[in-house]
Amino acid sequence: MEILDGKKISNQIKEEITVEVAQMKERGEKVPHLAAVLVGNDGASLTYVGSKVRSCKKIGFESTLIHLPEETTEEDLLKQVHQLNNDPAIDGYIVQLPLPKHIDEEKVLMAVDPDKDVDGFHPTNFGKMALDMETFISATPFGIMELLKRYNVDTEGKHTVVIGRSHIVGRPISILMSQKGKPGNSTVTLAHSRTQNLKELTLQADIVISALGVPRFLKADMVKEGVVIIDVGITRVADDTKEKGYYITGDVDFDNVSKKASFITPVPGGVGPMTIAMLLKNTLLARERHNN
């Protein structure tokens, strides 16, 4: 069994980007600038946005955090989005989800300029991804593909079972795994909450990508020997014995499933760090595309 070490690979990617940014500086070019919009004070969102901004600083990007109060109106948030669209200093930006309930998420995501949509959530970018065109692939599926690529995991002709059909993980990764390419060329089954006999499907899988958000959902008796496991789930489980009052766990019963797996991602330290690295990669791509 080999661990797909997302932390290690994400550090490699960040080092590669750091070198490129230093070269940009030497040539007197503007360095990539990522902005993040956060509305409200959701604990997990604060953590995610904080680490995105810190990562930018480390690799030499410019970054701007726009932290708006919980009671921000949809109209004011849309104004902020338009400002970012029109600000030539900003190469790419993200609007951290979830947004407060009184704001229509879809309306906001639709207002983001696709050329600055480094999260790859805009329908234009999602559509281009589905058609194999150059685009911003959203960071989590992009990170999974990069991890498979760097570990040379064979996906061609394999049966991949994706669990979860969300717009940000399950659906896009099911498309990418079925695309012509390496990684890709997989035969994909997309399972979700209405899927019947999931265990019958996962038992046939050469690769399982789990993105449902239920702690230790995937058990050892649901997978075959030699399976490749990508655990996207990140759930905070309350635990008073921990300093933070919780611990993080994935969708996979790691201790038992790892005994049967050929490759497996840990949680934390697997897909999570790759997501941040690929957001930075998309921001670098945005800068390069704006330069050309």
- What residues line the site for ligand NAD (CB under 6 A)? 140, 163-166, 168-170, 191-193, 195, 198, 211-214, 232-235, 271-272, 275
Smaller CB separation from ligand NAD, 140 or 282: 140
d(CA 175, CA 185): 10
Token pair in block for residue 259: 């005994």
Evaluated on CA atoms 98, 99, 101, 103, the torsion sign reads: negative
Long-range contacts (CB closer than 8 Å, 24 or more residues apart) made by 83-86: 84/35, 84/37, 84/113, 84/116, 85/111, 85/112, 85/113, 85/116
Q: Which is nearer to ligand NAD, 31 or 37 (CB)?
A: 37
Query: Which residue, 58 or 199, is less far from ligand NAD as judged by CB?
Result: 199
For residue 265, the minimal CB distance to ligand NAD (Å) is: 9
Calpha distance 117→107 (Å, rounded): 14
Task: Kindly list the distances between the CA atom of residue 157 and the CA atoms of 162, 186, 202, 264, 292, in Å, as whole numbers in the listed order.
Answer: 15, 5, 16, 19, 37
Residue number, 163 or 252, with CB nearest to ligand NAD: 163
DSSP state of 220: G
Which is the catalytic residue, given 119, 206, 231, 253?
Answer: 119
Least Å distance, CB 251 to ligand NAD, is 7
* Other CB atoms within 10 Å distance of the CB of residue 173: 28
Residue 163 in tokens:
């669990």
Q: How far is the CB of 229 from ligand NAD (least distance, A)?
A: 14
Compare residues 214 and 220 and give the one whose CB is closer to ligand NAD.
Answer: 214
Cβ distance to ligand NAD smaller for residue 104 or 156: 104
Closest CA to 129 of 119, 88, 228, 51: 119
Which sign, positive or negative, has the C-alpha torsion 139, 258, 45, 276? negative
- Residue 191 CB, shortest distance to ligand NAD, in Å, is 5
Distance CA 1, CA 259 (A): 7
C-alpha 228 chain-centroid distance? 19
For the CB of residue 232, give the shortest distance to ligand NAD in the complex, in Å: 4
Q: Which of 5, 80, 96, 206 is catalytic?
A: 96
3-class secondary structure, 279:
helix
Active site residue 115: no
Query: Is 119 noted as a catalytic residue in this protein?
Result: yes
**Choosing from 52, 116, 253, 281, which is the catalytic residue?**
52
* Minimum distance, C-beta of residue 37 to ligand NAD, in the bound complex (Å): 18
The residues annotated as belonging to the active site are 52, 96, 119
